[in-house]
Chains A and B, each alone.
Chain A
Amino acid sequence: MSTTVETNKAIKGGEFLIRETKAQEIFIPEEFNEEQRMIMQQCKDFLAKEVWPRLDEIDSMKDPKLMPSILDKAGELGLLGTSVPAELGGFGMDFNTTMLVAEVIGAGHSVAVALSAHTGIGTLPILYYGNEEQKKKYIPKLATGEWKAAYCLTEPDSGSDANSGKTKAMPTADGKHYILNGQKMWITNGGFADIYVVFAKIENDKNLSAFIVEKSFGGITMNEEEKKMGIKGSSTRQIFFNDCKVPAENMLSERENGFKIAVNILNIGRIKLGIAALGGSKQTISIATRYANERKQFGTSIATFGAIKHKIADMVTKVFASESAHYRAGQNIDDAYNAFVAGGMDSAKARLKSLEEFAIECAILKVHGSEVLDFVVDEGVQIYGGMGFSAEGPMDRAYRDARINRIFEGTNEINRLLTIDMLLKRAMKGQLDLMTPAMAVQKELLAIPDFGASEEEGIFVKEKKALNNLKKAGLMVSGAAVQKFMMKLSEEQEILMNLADMLIEGYIAESVILRVEKLIALRGEKACGIEKEMAMIYLHYAVNKGAAAGREAINAFAQGDEQRLMLMGLKRFTKIDPYNLKDARRKVANHVIEKGEYPF
């Protein structure tokens, strides 16, 4: 890993769109070391021992002490302190190791939600924005789980538009306290939390401020547990603050800095949500594959049928591809953090800066991870057939619990809008030169297409060209849309969704190709046959999806010659050599079926 740090330092967030990344620059999950593998096993053992045997009991919510007691056990194992530095009672792990923990725990249904809310949005605002006193007072107890945390941002009339919250914080006459009044909803861990990070506006401020509120401060009441479609075992409450008296020193960071805190903490939450969704996906694939092996129809196990193999291959491929991108971004974040710290930046600030730098990737991964999970659980139900629709089988819970992931931590729509918004803002600020490559693409569009065969030799040469072209297609359509709408592009949300899809697919496809290329360099081509097929399957999927999104966008804003020219360009940039995907899927599926679980 250390050898890549030097070269990676230069990588900027969002730059993947215009930069050709080398395989040796990315981190791949196969490179996790023995200690990280032990941690992975530790998390699996935790789920196997404390969570999976009690899923019904947890979801029944009959015992309100059950969830906190499971979090206590996680705390004893150290699972709540992975992001916390050693001097504050944690383990100070690098970002990618905390991602690994989030991934495995992600298969823990309601427990995964409770645990990640505590360690993420509950603990991190204090860890990253708290002053020394606040950190010393709260973090060690949060790292062990002695205190449990919740995050109170959303209000009945303030969801995606988070800065519009109405909760008020009025300073007392002596200036020693703030009096909080307002209503928060969908508060994960609300029922049992000891500490709430609460966002409220001081007096008539335009922007939110953030406060650390202890339950013991008083003036806090709550409604009954919400009845939800899924993650039924996760405590979700409406919380009312009625003259809740908060010491002035419990304000986090500065006045009106709350919205920034909320946004930056959500960056971390997003990539962690994405990887947790993949942990859930892997578990679902393993369960569905075992069922396909056992279930017999027409005298044979249904795993022998091509239609089932197609499903298993697609489920596994999407997870593998998404995972490649998650740990690639995770390492980028670690490298950026290390570079900031080496430059003299304080650790908490460096963590935030590194995540802010890769905020585009975080939003992409939130969308992709959660949508892969939804795809996987849907096909999981389908493989289970009638038993998939039964509330007695395991797919019922998997299907219901998956759904929230496209909604919380910023809906996938908000995150799609954000990816393009952030990209364009960086371009306008001159942080990311989108202009030069976009102009080059326009020029290429008018030039005679290059029909010459590539001279280059090596792995994935043609595929990388296809990938590069997919990025060009994205640049072409985005560039034209920007020119067309200028500042009014933000009103064209449908087109922005299309552009986001092109961007997302380009990033994921590139990540899986680079991962397999690096894996081949490590293990040899013969040992990576299945992985290579997955890279091919994903690339074809990404190019087709990119082409469809591009077409939709072009047809929505271009007419006449311009439209014709762009559609032709799109066709040229999304051309891909034919490949027998049926055979590729069979190879992948046969491997998974033989192993009887997600095997990578």
Chain B
Amino acid sequence: MKILVCITHVPDTTSKINFTDNNTRFNTAGVQFIIGPYDDYSLARAIEIKEATPGATVTVLNVGPADTEPTIRKALSVGADDAVRINAEPTDSFFVAKQIAEHAKSIGYDLILMGRESIDYNSGVVHGIVGELLGWPSVSPVMKLDIEGTKAKLAREIEGGKEFLEVNLPFVAGCQEPIAEWKIPNMRGIMSARTKPLKVVEPVSVDSGVKLQQFELPPPKGAVKMIAADNVAELVTLLKNEAKVL
């Protein structure tokens, strides 16, 4: 079984976010990058499936420029066999999905996993578009995934409960916890990451019709005013006159 895990290269969750170039570029100065946390869960599940399935392989893929390679090697250290980097800025979801789909067509995978969404731009649609482009089913957010022969049993989170599905391979899944426990690479994995193949592929050209215009940060949070529980009148006055929400 050939599994493809698509990973994003995203700022650490504690990073301070700001923009440059007239609010059109994310300022990466001093920012530490990590594998997208949801992608990390999907990678962990892929490794578990590989370990339980003789002959299975895991390939990781990232659409990004050369500076994402340390993040890709991190994924290799966790246990992926090889990696592909599509050498392009991941400008929008359709662009990324198209690159993934084209690569997948050229190789032929049985399963494509990724996080339910990235934690930088959070579009949460790449898995759906990849499924559409390949003509495969796509399911998200998947919190349980078990392979049974040519099928898989999935559990998906829905509003107020869970949905259980059976899906034919191949398919695309956007994953989230608790699909697997995220993995810390062991020393052997870290030391072998450098020697595993990391192939750089040039992107296919895509006209996605979307152009970024500007980012805007939310206004800074104002100070919190504490009002005693028995002083409802003051609360109402403040909501009317200061917050102007009543």
Q: Residues on A close to B: CB < 8 A? A: 34-35, 37-39, 41-42, 45-46, 49, 76-79, 81-82, 91, 594-597
Contacts and interface: CB of A to CB of B under 8 A. Distances in A.
A39 B186 contact: no
Interface stretch (B120-128, B137-145, B188-196): B188-196
Interface of B: 14, 16, 30, 70, 73-74, 77, 184-188, 190-191, 193-194
A81 B191 CA distance: 13
Contacts of B193: 35, 38
B146 to A, nearest CB: 24
B74 A38 contact: yes
The 4 closest A-B pairs by CB, nearest first: A78-B187, A45-B184, A77-B186, A38-B190
A595 B30 CA distance: 9
Given A35-B191, A79-B187, 10 more contacts: A35-B190, A38-B73, A38-B185, A38-B190, A39-B187, A42-B190, A45-B184, A77-B187, A78-B188, A597-B14
A302 B190 CA distance: 41
A596 B14 contact: yes
Nearest to B184: A45
Contacts of A45: 184
A38 B71 CA distance: 10
11 contacts: A34-B73, A35-B193, A37-B70, A38-B70, A42-B184, A42-B187, A42-B190, A77-B185, A82-B187, A91-B188, A597-B14
Nearest to B32: A41
Given A34-B73, A38-B74, A38-B77, A49 B184 contact: yes
Contacts of B30: 595
A91 B191 CA distance: 9
B194 A42 contact: no
A49 B184 CA distance: 9
Contacts of A37: 70
A46 B187 CA distance: 12
A91 B187 contact: yes
Contacts of A77: 184-187
B117 to A, nearest CB: 22
Contacts, number: 44
Nearest to B74: A38
A59 to B, nearest CB: 23
B185 A42 contact: yes
Contacts of A38: 70, 73-74, 77, 185, 190, 193
A76 B183 CA distance: 12
A76 B186 contact: yes
Contacts of A82: 187
Contact of A81 (B14, B73, B187, B190): B187
Nearest to B183: A45
A519 to B, nearest CB: 15
A78 B186 contact: yes
Pick the most buried of B186, B187, B188, B193: most chain A CB atoms within 10 A of its CB. B187
Contacts of B191: 35, 91
Nearest to B190: A38
Contacts of A81: 187
Contacts of A597: 14
A256 B64 CA distance: 62
B121 to A, nearest CB: 24
Contacts of B184: 42, 45-46, 49, 77
A526 to B, nearest CB: 13
Contacts of A42: 184-187, 190
B85 to A, nearest CB: 15
B78 to A, nearest CB: 10
Contacts of A49: 184
Nearest to A33: B194
Contacts of B77: 38
A405 to B, nearest CB: 26
A93 to B, nearest CB: 8
Nearest to A36: B190
B84 to A, nearest CB: 19
Contacts of B190: 35, 38-39, 42
A291 to B, nearest CB: 15
Contacts of B187: 39, 42, 77-79, 81-82, 91
A46 B184 CA distance: 7
Contacts of A78: 186-188
Contacts of B194: 35
A34 B188 contact: no
Contacts of B14: 596-597
A79 B185 CA distance: 11
Contacts of A595: 16, 30
A392 to B, nearest CB: 22
B186 A34 contact: no
A595 B74 CA distance: 24
A77 B74 CA distance: 14
Nearest to A290: B14
A79 B194 CA distance: 19
Contacts of B16: 594-595
Nearest to A93: B187
B31 to A, nearest CB: 11
Nearest to A46: B184
A139 B74 CA distance: 29
Contacts of B74: 38, 41
- Which of B30, B184, B185, B194: most chain A CB closer than 10 A? B184
A34 B186 CA distance: 15
A77 B183 CA distance: 10
A45 B37 CA distance: 13
Nearest to A44: B184
A35 B73 CA distance: 9
Contacts of A34: 70, 73
Listed residue (A37, A38, A42, A81) with the most chain B CB atoms within 10 angstroms of its CB: A38
Contacts of A596: 14
